[in-house]
Chains A and B, each alone.
Chain A
Amino acid sequence: MDMPIRVLVAKPGLDGHDRGAKVIARSLRDAGMEVIYTGLRQTPEQIVAAAIQEDVDVVAMSILSGAHNHLFPKVVNLLKEQGADDILIIGGGVIPEDDIPELKKSGVKAIFTPGTSTKDVVKYIENHIKR
């Protein structure tokens, strides 16, 4: 039997907007995944530690404060340093399209912006995790 996909939904930085993160967490769970939600105000170090400890397949981060260019790549690099670069990293939030190519180059595999259907996120994860 296939093990369910494990996802860490994380809120890096000081941003308190968690409506999107919680909706995503719940819809991934409804799609049969195991979801761990970090709660607010996580440092990149805390997120990476949780991802490794929980042995997740996916880290899904949400930022609406504009700090994504700083915080997303930091999480990617720390995961690499820990040898956990098989984890699929995705992000979402209010992220200007001009920032997306650079974020992808840094190792965030997909960026989901406002208006995304939760079904598209589920599909993306199912098609892109490394197992």
Chain B
Amino acid sequence: MFNDNEIINIKESKKKWESEVVDKAIKRFPERKEKFSTVSDIEVDRLYTPENMENSDYEKDLGYPGKYPYTRGVQPTMYRGRLWTMRQYAGFATAEESNKRYKYLLEQGQTGLSVAFDLPTQIGYDSDHSLSAGEVGKVGVAIDSLKDMEILFNGIPLDKVSTSMTINAPASVLLAMYIAVAEKQGVSQDKLRGTIQNDILKEYIARGTYIFPPEPSMRLITDIFEYCSKNVPKWNTISISGYHIREAGATAIQEVAFTLADGIAYVEAAIETGLDVDDFAPRLSFFFNAHNNLLEEIAKYRAARRIWAKIMKNRFKAKNEKSMKLKFHTQTAGCTLTAQQPDNNIIRVTVQALAAVLGGTQSLHTNSRDEALALPSEESVRIALRTQQVLAYESGVTETIDPLAGSYYIESLTDQIEEEAMKYIEKIDELGGMPQAVEKGYVQKEIQNSSYKYQMEVESNERIVVGVNKFQTEEKHHEDILKVDPEVERLQKEKINKLKSTRNNDEVKKNLANLKKLAKTDENLMPYILSAVKSYATLGEICDVLRSVFGEYEQSVIL
């Protein structure tokens, strides 16, 4: 971007500034630390100048929004055209309670839904399973059958909202339920918009809600890719998630690298089943974390877009531009929230949300201040949503696209994250791809090392966490904590019993037997899961059938 002569001059004048001005200043006032680094341990220089962009080529590395390599954004007008989707992850207790919260959020100006399921639902157990005891309705809503799903979306027109569902191992079952509810509302599947998380690899790595071993899990995922490309064309079939990898303790570089390596594994699996890359890749979406270091996070999103575009174009020979665009959802970092002085979390979330917006996110969830204490209260959720609205309507950062481009530091950091992430991706390729790298425990170990290092830095006060290891105050008792009524578990069990005595059990049996038969073949299972769901087979019954054919994943404990 600068010619060689200019760079030479700048290098010289910078040296001069360092020796004549900086050295003197440092002698009188030493800097606060010997070495400065980002939260991901990338060393930060005192000053960035055009010399840091010596090798950068504007047209090739940055280009234009909506144009390859999409460093500056995936849409040509970004937030001047349409603001990001404000999507608060919510769900607790029963479908009835959660339905009320969704309607409340929509009334408050939220523009998309995001469903949180409880752990039994995420792991394919009904509420009356022995392993569900104590967990029903806790971290999300309990869904046992299509009946619950009908209640969850009661009065919410599914052709008008887009819905994101955080569901992985049993994603096909919950997607089938959503399709069935829509059908009852008179909405055909080709009109449905939304996302299922459907990202099993990061469950093995970081999140823990796996059911089946990798091979059949990948098959269920590619079945969904194929089914949706023909029947639910506006549905994002996967949300390849770095969020939980980061929450588990990864650095920004590891977040980008491991997420994109997961993406590569899904693309390879789908191509292997005979799908054409451009048939499914436009519906891949991503999900990243927004951590504390504002500038590093902005660079992270830009680097991720550029790497993915190159991978899709060069490695997978995608022709359709849509296949090369990395679209992503962002959630602010839960792991940065403190139980101490919880109102400070509002400010953390604001900084993190700003990073996501300056990084060009397509949708955003802002965490609530009280989430290190319990599930968020209604008031806290409203403040979190208002934070997004203030950024969107008052801060002015939405008026021009990628406003930090050209900053010597941001561009240099973007390049650095790309380079370091590519080293990880190459290493994972050498190990035989992501499923093998996970099997060997390589990825988990890398993340654990980062997380331990971070914790030790906090404990030695090298890293300051306001209110935790500095600026502490006496904590007061926290009122207004949301509690899930233990009655929920009993209510869900009652509902299951009633359902099982009123549905057509012969039809259920027939559909489950059929599903079992076909699970042993390589036929696409989506239509058969859909039939089972429509006959009110429960989630647990469907997953049990698949467990009996596929077996269950055994986690290798890595410490």
Interface presence of B448 (CB below 8 A): yes
Q: Closest A-chain residue to B210, C-beta based?
A: A16
B-chain residues with CB within 8 Å of residue A22 when the two chains form the complex: 448, 451-452, 559
Task: Please report which residues of chain B, range 482-532, place their CB below 8 angstroms from some CB of chain A when the two chains form the complex.
Answer: 483-484, 486
Interface presence of A113 (CB below 8 A): yes
Contact A97 B478 (CB under 8 A): yes
State whether A117 and B248 are in contact (beta carbons under 8 Å apart), knowing that A13-B134, A15-B208, A96-B481 are contacts in the complex: no
A-chain residues with CB within 8 Å of residue B77 when the two chains form the complex: none
B-chain residues with CB within 8 Å of residue A114 when the two chains form the complex: 337-339, 372
A-chain residues with CB within 8 Å of residue B337 when the two chains form the complex: 114
Interface presence of B69 (CB below 8 A): no
Contact A115 B340 (CB under 8 A): yes
B-binding segment of A54-62, A65-73, A81-89: A65-73
* B-contact bits for A1-38, CB 8 A (1 contact / 0 none): 00000000000011111110011011100000001011
Q: How many residues of B contact A (CB 8 A)?
A: 46
* A→B interface (CB under 8 Å): 13-19, 22-23, 25-27, 35, 37-41, 43, 65-67, 69-71, 94, 96-98, 113-115, 117-119
Choose from A14, A39, A66, A118 the contact partner of B455 (Cβ within 8 Å): A118
A-chain residues with CB within 8 Å of residue B477 when the two chains form the complex: 97
* A-contact bits for B332-349, CB 8 A (1 contact / 0 none): 000101111000000000
Contact A67 B134 (CB under 8 A): yes
Give me the 3 closest cross-chain CB pairs, A-B, nearest first.
A16-B208, A70-B134, A67-B134
Q: Closest B-chain residue to A11, C-beta based?
A: B208
Contact A94 B134 (CB under 8 A): no
Choose from A14, A18, A25, A119 the contact partner of B119 (Cβ within 8 Å): A14
Chain B interface helix/strand/loop/mixed: loop
Docked Cα-Cα span, A13 to B208, in Å, equals: 11
Interface presence of B209 (CB below 8 A): yes
Interface presence of B327 (CB below 8 A): no
Interface presence of B296 (CB below 8 A): no
Contact A96 B139 (CB under 8 A): no
Q: Closest A-chain residue to B374, C-beta based?
A: A96
Docked Cα-Cα span, A13 to B125, in Å, equals: 12
Contact B340 A26 (CB under 8 A): no
State whether A119 and B459 are in contact (beta carbons under 8 Å apart), knowing that A67-B134, A96-B373, A97-B477 are contacts in the complex: yes
State whether A23 and B207 are in contact (beta carbons under 8 Å apart), knowing that A14-B135, A15-B119, A115-B340 are contacts in the complex: no
